[in-house]
Structure formats: C-alpha cells, structure tokens
Amino acid sequence: MSANPEIRSPRSLAGALAVRASIAAFVVLSTLLGAPLAAAPTSGEPIHITHREFKSAVLRSDLPVVVDFWATWCGPCRKMAPALATLAADNVGRLVVAKVNVDENLAFTHRYGVKGLPTLLVFKNGREIGRLQGNRKPEVLEQELAALLGPTMLAAALPADSIAP
C-alpha cells in the first residue's frame, strides 16, 4: 500500500463500494416491496409529534393520519380530545391520530396555514386530503372523516357523550 493515505488500495475501495451498493439495494428493494416507511402506532392512543417527527409520522405513514393542531389553553381543543382518543383507540391499524401543540411548533403551524383551533388536517398517502376547523360533536366528526377517507376506514361510531355540546 502506498505511503500516501489519500490513495486506497483497490481491494479496500472495492469493499467500500460493495457496502454502499448493498445499502442502496436494500433501500430500493424495501421501497419497491411496499415495506412501510413509518411504523404505525399500536397503543391506540394519539401520538404527540413535533415538526421534527412530522415527515416520518405523517407524510410517510402507510395509514391515513388525522393531525390535531391544538393548545393547552384552547377550550374547544380540550372538548374534542376525548373523541380523538376514542377515534385512535377504535381504529388501531386503520388510522393514526397525531397531535401537534401549536405553542411548541408555531412556525410549523403557520407553514400549514392553521389559523384557528382546533384544526384537524387529514393526510392519506402523504398528501393532505381534508381540513376540519372547529369543535365537532363525535357523530359529525365521524361523518366528515368517513366522507374524506371512505366509510369502511373507520370503526364503529364514536360515543355520543365524547364531547360536551
């Protein structure tokens, strides 16, 4: 081997290229074979995310995702929380409910054009397919989500007492 550390032996260069090719092939095959890009939560509870997790948890999810933009000081957000928790629990494996605290993710909230709370953004295959703003009764929320996602995507109806009118 040469005394100059910048010059590699053909054997070590070939090994490095083989490793890189193997990694690239794995990534391409995983994508082509339909391997999920992001693991779906299995707890049955809404997941709390920030702008850092948004891409992997929402845009790369293999399931539809309902993103709740909320704040601790928002009364209507607190009223909708039980309905969203029920939605997450009843639809494990069919739907993901994610929550974004607007006070902790202000610039990100503006980027998605959230102007009022609560705001629900509905994503499917990495694209926003719907937006719901304001408090809703559970049955209205279910009807609107079923209209966006298809009626077979959601489990049984949300309980009527999930949200106070």
Write out the catalytic residue numbers.
74, 77
Q: How far is CA 146 from the centre of its chain?
A: 18
| Sign of the dihedral defined by the CA atoms of residues 31, 97, 53, 108, in that order | positive
Pairing of strands 127-133, 96-101: unpaired
d(C-alpha 46, C-alpha 68), whole Å: 9
